[in-house]
Amino acid sequence: MRGEQMPLFFRWRPALRETNEDIRSAWQLATARTIDQLQNSGWLAPAAEKAMAAVVGPNGLQLNAKPNAMALGWTQDQANTWARAVETRFSMWTDSARACDAGARYTFAQLQGQAYRHWLASGEILATLPFIKGPGSLFGTKIKLLPAWRLSPRCESPSLINGVRVNAVGAPVAYVFKRQVPYGGVDEVELQATDQAGRPLVVHIFDGEPDQTRGISPFASVLKVCRQFDQLADATLTAATVQALFAAMFKSPGPSDEALAAMQESGENKSMTSLLGEKSEWYKRTDLNLGIHGKILHGFPGDELQFFRSEHPNSTYEPFSKFLLREICGAAAITYEEFTNDWAGATFSSSKMGTATNWPRVLYRRKHIVAPLCQRAYEAWLEEDIESGGTPFPGGVAGFLAQREAAAQANWRGPTMPQADELKTALAAAKQKEIGLPDSFVFETYGLDRDDVYEERKREQDRKDALGLKDPVAKAAAPPGADPSQDPTEDPSQDKTDTGNG
């Protein structure tokens, strides 16, 4: 760019502004346009559902409590026992809409799906965690999801930026919400981010640059492409429809109206006027409807019925439309095949590579977009359950508040990575174990936790032993023709016959 000699750079001088200023000027219109596309586009609406299914899944992100045993002064066995008890009680809250949803309509998994879809539309997840103790539920901690446009766009330098009040180091301390008042008015109310004990009261999640206080839809960068695809499809359909409606015409050797007018002005060939008049009367009495099956059209003598073939869509339509769709599906974090349901030409290797390269983006959004909502809700619920005595904790709620970070550590597991061929994936996992890779690495492919697998195996084995069941896997692993009573550790060549010699 030295000397600005490159013609492509001429008159390209974008302003370098603060990210918050760009978001403030573009957020409302970008969000409205994205929502319009998500509601009316046959491509973006299912893409959002598929992206949500990959990140959240049908059962939502599942709690895998991981209290820090060293920081808490517990043994690992104590931490594991406490974690499993917490997970069991937490499932009572997540599986009941009456327990977790302020509106008593949605389970925790459904709330996660709604939150992620709203993030796709607005770039933000906004929720409050009110305490509402109602009949029919043991718990008072609730989640209330709110549309992101409830936040005020008001700015007051230097602490209030786009409805978010920050402290001297940029951490949010309060949020300014818009609310309806009687007679159609709107006013604003400011809510604290946390209470005095650190319990989260407002959850505001987004992703972006270091100085941002608000997010923006990941589809904002492809809104232009969405409109281009719609215009391409509409123009192509219009051209094809016009050609279909006017696919046939009569071709006549007679002169046009302009030529006839010239003849009349010159006074020559006056008989042509009477001829064309008779032709006009002929076609007035003839039905030219081509939609009647089996109809035979009789034209005026000398006229020929000529048909035209539609030239739309042409050979360039499909490659160009695929190019546009590939750009859109990148914003949804799903592969082109998933986005379009077009699997023509896809192979096992291409499908696996496409999924493998896209999967880290799914994991990133799962961990940094949806999981923070789950974590804040879990911490608020855990504080309540310890205070009510449902979950024991050394020192009670005061001990928990003093060690919140160590006690509330958790992982949030979602659906596993889709596999193009389950058998090949299983064989690859077996090979990985054969060459000495740790189980934790192998289980990550399936989205499983190593300790969870070990504990589940132990429970299953104990149950089988109690019922006297044999392991079918071990039985199937025996070589063909082998004697089931033969100990595989013994040498079969040794004769164990008792000779009586002592």
CA atoms within 13 A on the CB side of 214: 31
- Cα 179 from Cα 85, distance rounded (Å): 40
Q: Model confidence at 489, in pLDDT bands (50, 70, 90)?
A: very low
Please confirm whether the linkage preceding 313 is cis (ω < 30° from 0). yes
pLDDT at 4: 72
Read off the pLDDT of each residue in 468-497 and give the average, rounded to a whole number: 54
Q: pLDDT tens-digit profile of 8-30? A: 777 888 888 888 888 888 999 99
Asked if 59 and 343 count as a contact pair (C-beta separation under 8 A), the reply is: no
| Model confidence pLDDT, tens digit, residues 440-467 | 888 876 767 777 788 778 878 888 888 8
CA distance 57 to 416: 9
- Report the candidate in 116, 147, 127 with the shortest Cα–Cα distance to residue 48: 116
Does residue 95 have a pLDDT over 90? yes
- Check: CB of residue 355 under 8 Å from CB of residue 364: no
Residue 265 has pLDDT above 80, yes or no: no
Q: What is the pLDDT of residues 60-73, one digit of tens each?
A: 999 999 999 999 99
Q: What is the pLDDT of residues 402-417, one digit of tens each?
A: 999 999 999 998 888 8
Confidence category of residue 307, pLDDT binned at 50, 70, 90: low
> Under a CB-based contact definition with an 8 Å cutoff, are residues 378 and 91 in contact?
no
Least reliable range by pLDDT among 75-89, 181-195, 398-412, 469-483: 469-483
pLDDT in tens, 120-141: 999 999 999 999 988 888 999 9
Residue type at 295 in one-letter notation = K
What's residue 501's pLDDT? 44
- CA-to-CA distance for 301 and 181, rounded, in angstroms? 79
Q: How far apart are CA 204 and CA 263, in angstroms?
A: 81
| Structure tokens given for 139 | 């718990």
Q: Give the residue-averaged pLDDT of 373-386.
A: 96
Which residues on adjacent β-strands are paired with residue 128?
144, 202
Max CA pair span of the chain: 142
Residue 151 is given by DSSP the state B
Answer whether 149's CB lies under 8 Å from 28's CB. yes
Tell me how far apart the alpha carbons of residues 336 and 330 are, in angstroms, rounded to a whole number: 8
Domain residue spans of the chain: 17-218+356-412, 254-295, 421-477
CB atoms within 10 A of CB 204: 24
Whole-number Å distance between alpha carbons of 120 and 443: 30
Q: What is the pLDDT of residues 140-180, one digit of tens each?
A: 999 999 999 999 999 988 889 999 999 999 899 999 999 88
Provide the residue type at 499 as one letter.
Answer: T
Q: Which of 121, 174, 131 is nearest to 152 (CA)?
A: 174
Which residue bears the tokens 């936790």? 449
Residue 290 has pLDDT above 60, yes or no: no
C-alpha 374/C-alpha 62 separation (Å) is 9
Q: Are 112 and 61 in contact (CB under 8 A)?
A: yes
**pLDDT band per the 50, 70, 90 thresholds, residue 427:** confident
Mean of pLDDT over the chain: 81
**344 by DSSP, 3-state: which?**
coil
Helix%, strand%, coil% for the chain, nearest 5? 50, 10, 40
Q: Which phi and psi (to 5°) does residue 489 adopt?
A: -85, -10
Two tokens, residue 478: 């025996």
- Chain centroid to Cα 127, Å, comes to 19
Q: How many residues does the chain have?
A: 502
Distance between alpha carbon 464 and the CA centroid of its chain, in Å? Answer: 40
Q: Identify whether 158 is preceded by a cis peptide bond (ω within 30 of 0).
A: yes
Would the pLDDT of 496 be above 80?
no
Ramachandran sector of residue 3 (left: φ over 0; alpha: ψ -120 to 50; beta: rest) = left
pLDDT tier at 278 (50, 70, 90 boundaries)?
low
- 27 contacts 21 by C-beta, under 8 angstroms: no
CA dist 335 and 321 (Å) reads 16
The sign of the CA dihedral 148, 152, 153, 158 is negative
Distance, in Å, from the CA atom of 329 to the CA atom of 51, rounded to the nearest integer, reads 10
Is pLDDT larger for residue 339 or for residue 392?
392
